[in-house]
Amino acid sequence: WLLNPLPMAVSSRGNAEALVALLVLATLYWVEAGGVGKAAVCYGLAVHMKIYPLTYALPIALHLRSGDGAVGAGGDGKARPKFVVHIWRLFVKTLNWDVLLFGTVAGSVLAALTFAFYHLYGWEFLEHAYLYHVTRRDIRHNFSPYFYMLYLTAESKWSFALGLAAFLPQLLLLLVVSIAFYRDLAFCCFLHTAIFVSFNKVCTSQYFVWYLCLLPLVMPSIKMSWRRGALLLLLWFVGQGLWLAPAYFLEFKGYNTFLFIWLAGLLFLFINSLIIVQIISHYQKEAQVTKKLKQR
């Protein structure tokens, strides 16, 4: 990972992405290995460094609640309980000893780090680390499909409503994916971050590193032909290339290519969604788990 040119190029812009990736991977490792306390420490540190791992809280909690990919509360032979009842049971039964330990340790680590840095740097630290994300108004061009819409409506009365409308698909997808795939934590976190980044209001190349670091963990479970995988990868790069071309002409040549950038952003979202759908469709971890259960 340290010699991979993509994180190398991204890190040279001033973000130690390799460190955050390490902490996230350490968290996932310790959760799988049963060291809940150590996982919580790594998690607290990861969230302190970058806020995005906060979304992993739900899959980790669901995973710890159920143990190692064990069968859920409802029996297999009986009729499937109503979806709403099932969701209710899932969340009510979420609080068990492991989850409480994880939450407490991670929360304490995060609070201790926040307090320590506040003591060192004062209000400036809180502003730059956390509050900045709440009040930030960056409407410059980026990969996000929402960029042009937010730029044009920045001063209109619809600005807040549109911002909220942009947030809802992201939130809904993250919830559903957590419930569907929490048994395989690495896969769930990969999907989480891929969806979070693709549907976010701001999206830059730096964010891709956040889910690419989980791809090696996930690849063995995805049964896809090399040709299909290569085609999807090519499509991903083509999507970026189609955005980068008009963006270059806008920023460095001064042409008005806003419409092209916007359309390329929509296309890139579609390509990312297609890739995520293909990955979900070809995911076959379940076959390995049932095989192991039968062998016991």
Partner 1 sequence: CVTSDVQAACRDTTVTQELLKEGFHRDLQVKVELGEDAGGCAVAARIHLPPGIYVDPYELATLQQQNLTKALLIPDVTDVEAPEYLATALVLVLFLEADPRCSRCFRAAVPVHARYHRPAEGSQHALVALESPQVLLCCCHSHLAAECWEPAEVGAPCSAENVGPCQWHSTTHRAAREELMLEVPVGLREHSSLVCALTLLTTLLCASLILAATCRHGHFS
Residue ranges in contact with partner 1 by CB under 8 A: 71-72, 74, 76, 80, 83, 86, 136-140, 145-146, 148-149, 151-156, 158, 162, 165-166, 169, 172-173, 176-177, 179-181, 183, 195, 198-199, 250-259, 262, 266, 269-270, 272-274, 276-277, 280-281, 283, 286
Shorter beta-carbon distance to partner 1: residue 2 or 164: 164
Shorter beta-carbon distance to partner 1: residue 70 or 120: 70
Shorter beta-carbon distance to partner 1: residue 43 or 196: 196
Q: How far apart are CA 210 and CA 192, in angstroms?
A: 10
**Distances in Å between the alpha carbon of 41 and those of 46, 93, 106?**
9, 24, 6
Shorter beta-carbon distance to partner 1: residue 43 or 147: 147
Q: How far apart are CA 179 and CA 286, in angstroms?
A: 15
Q: How far apart are CA 207 and CA 7, in angstroms?
A: 10
Q: How far apart are CA 146 and CA 163, in angstroms?
A: 9
Closest contact distance (angstroms) between CB of 116 and partner 1 is 25
Q: How far apart are CA 255 and CA 270, in angstroms?
A: 26
Closest contact distance (angstroms) between CB of 141 and partner 1 is 9
Q: How far apart are CA 233 and CA 218, in angstroms?
A: 15
Shorter beta-carbon distance to partner 1: residue 108 or 124: 124
Bridge partner residues of 222 (DSSP): 283
CA torsion sign, 23 to 31 to 168 to 143?
positive
Closest contact distance (angstroms) between CB of 122 and partner 1 is 16
Query: Is the CB of residue 206 less than 8 Å from the CB of residue 10?
Result: yes
DSSP 179-221: HHHTTSHHHHHHHHHHHHHHTSSS--HHHHHHHHTTHHHHGGG
Shorter beta-carbon distance to partner 1: residue 119 or 253: 253
Closest contact distance (angstroms) between CB of 10 and partner 1 is 18
Closest contact distance (angstroms) between CB of 212 and partner 1 is 19
Shorter beta-carbon distance to partner 1: residue 26 or 264: 264
Joined together, the tokens standing for residue 39 give 């996982």
Closest contact distance (angstroms) between CB of 247 and partner 1 is 11
**Distances in Å between the alpha carbon of 74 and those of 77, 146, 151?**
9, 40, 48
Shorter beta-carbon distance to partner 1: residue 83 or 123: 83
Closest contact distance (angstroms) between CB of 81 and partner 1 is 9
CA-based end-to-end distance of the chain: 36
Closest contact distance (angstroms) between CB of 242 and partner 1 is 15
